[in-house]
């Protein structure tokens, strides 16, 4: 009997692409017949919503952890899964559940990580960065680099599809946040406005064209030593450090006191007709053997054992663990995607100089409050 295909809708990311790599052979080790459909981040959400609306058929979809879980579970888009915690980091295990029921199977973590050239910072500061710094310290280093060289030495991941989460550590830097614990928008507080103004100042200290930088562009300028410092996702560090990076030993790592992290995960769609096969496949993907391999390729594994075994080869793992422990999630809110889209759009307009930071966040608050 020919086994039916398990169809997986996944976001385009280095970790995901490695699942299909024939030389690495991840899919050779599973018992299921699996086909991945990998979609760029900018197009992913709308494609995924087609699945939930019944206009596209996939058994498994990728979900941005706590960011989307509440909405999707409440709407009945996802099926509860079989999940064994084992030595998966507790902070990740908690993120996989809604109302104490597991809906997600983790793939890799995406949290704020700072990557910098130690030699260039030594020239200016006479030291490396600590493992955890404030956004204000980051801004001060960017200023010092500009003063010392007369050139912008920082890269920002400020593409319109990335800009809200890229700005988030700065929005939090003076003690504010975009949402309160109750999920209500508080993005127009004076502290958050001041944080966005600091983020906009960073643009003046950054490489030309940074408003178009996404993951690939950030990885390129770090690898080629065209930037002295940049913030990227932990799930991109394997890509940054792969063969061909200029002087990889010169790269140092840090994170923010105000960092955010999300665990990209797989979920079984409620329309899946092969739930037993889907659960078996997800159990395999989060196994210790697969996590050890994929974790090194993405840069952000899931298991304590993967960090312990990989630290000698992956010098960023200790900072990555720090980031996981200090990162603050966004609260679980209704219609999270719709509300965050407003923040992306308004912050992007402020970054482009069309409106001020205050105008952007006051308008965002009004628009978010209008969503019931």
pLDDT by residue (tens digit) across 72-98? 999 999 999 999 999 999 999 999 999
Return the pLDDT at 258.
Answer: 98
pLDDT by residue (tens digit) across 167-178? 999 999 999 999
Q: Do domains 6-109+261-326 and 111-260+331-369 have the same CATH topology?
A: yes
pTM metric for this prediction? 0.93
Return the pLDDT at 65.
Answer: 95
How large is the average pLDDT for residues 19-48?
93
Confirm or reject CATH 3.30.930.10 for domain 6-109+261-326, answering yes or no: no
- Residues 269 and 288: their CA atoms lie apart, in Å, by 24
Structure token pair of residue 214: 């996404």
Q: Measuring CA to CA, which residue among 350, 266, 319, 366 is closest to residue 58? A: 266
Please give the backbone phi and psi of residue 242, each rounded to the nearest 5 degrees, phi first: -65, 170
- 232 in Cβ contact with 238 (< 8 Å): no
How large is the average pLDDT for residues 197-219?
96
Residue with tokens 């994929």: 294
Would you state the CATH architecture of domain 111-260+331-369? 3-Layer(aba) Sandwich (3.40)
For the chain, which residues make up each domain, given as ranges?
Answer: 6-109+261-326, 111-260+331-369
How large is the average pLDDT for residues 20-27?
92
Return the pLDDT at 1.
Answer: 41
Torsion on CA atoms 208, 212, 216, 221, rounded to nearest 10 = 10
How would you label 215-250 residue by residue, b for 16+ Cβ within 10 Å and e otherwise? bebbbebbbeeebbbbbbbbbbbbbbbeeebeeeee
**Coil vs helix vs strand at 86:** coil
- Residues 41 and 52: their CA atoms lie apart, in Å, by 18
Reported as a pLDDT band with limits 50, 70 and 90, residue 332 is confident
Percent of the chain with pLDDT strictly greater than 90: 93
Return the pLDDT at 334.
Answer: 86
- Residues 356 and 350: their CA atoms lie apart, in Å, by 5
**Coil vs helix vs strand at 20:** coil
């Amino acid at each position: 009997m020919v086994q039916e295909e398990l169809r997986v809708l996944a976001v385009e990311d280095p970790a995901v692409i490695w699942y299909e790599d024939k030389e690495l052979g991840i899919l050779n080790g599973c018992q299921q017949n699996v086909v991945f459909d990998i979609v760029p981040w900018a197009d992913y959400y709308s494609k995924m919503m087609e699945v939930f609306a019944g206009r596209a058929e996939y058994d498994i979809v990728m979900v941005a952890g706590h960011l989307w879980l509440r909405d999707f579970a409440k709407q009945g888009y996802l099926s509860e899964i079989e999940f064994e915690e084992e030595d998966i980091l507790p902070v990740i295990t908690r993120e996989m559940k809604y109302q104490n029921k597991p809906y997600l199977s983790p793939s890799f973590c995406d949290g704020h990580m700072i990557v910098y050239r130690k030699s260039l910072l030594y020239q200016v500061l006479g030291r490396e960065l600590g493992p955890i710094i404030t956004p204000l310290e980051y801004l001060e280093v960017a200023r010092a680099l500009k003063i010392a060289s007369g050139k912008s030495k920082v890269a920002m991941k400020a593409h319109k599809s990335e800009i809200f989460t890229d700005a988030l550590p700065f929005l939090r830097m003076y003690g504010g946040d975009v949402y309160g614990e109750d999920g209500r928008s508080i993005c127009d507080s004076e502290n958050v406005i001041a944080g966005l103004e600091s983020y906009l100042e960073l643009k003046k200290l950054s490489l030309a064209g940074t408003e178009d930088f996404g993951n690939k562009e950030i990885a390129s300028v770090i690898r080629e030593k065209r930037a002295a410092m940049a913030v990227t996702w932990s799930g991109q560090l394997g890509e940054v450090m792969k063969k061909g990076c200029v002087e990889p030993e010169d790269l140092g790592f840090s994170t923010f006191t105000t960092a955010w992290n999300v665990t990209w995960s797989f979920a079984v769609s409620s329309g899946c007709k092969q739930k037993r096969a889907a659960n078996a496949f997800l159990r395999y993907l989060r196994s210790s053997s697969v996590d050890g391999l994929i974790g090194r390729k993405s840069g952000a594994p899931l298991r304590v054992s993967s960090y312990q075994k990989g630290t000698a080869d992956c010098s960023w793992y200790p900072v990555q663990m720090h980031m996981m422990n200090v990162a603050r999630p966004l609260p679980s809110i209704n219609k999270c995607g719709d509300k965050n889209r407003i923040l992306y759009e308004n912050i992007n307009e402020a970054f482009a100089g069309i409106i001020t930071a205050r105008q952007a966040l006051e308008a965002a608050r009004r628009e978010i409050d209008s969503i019931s």
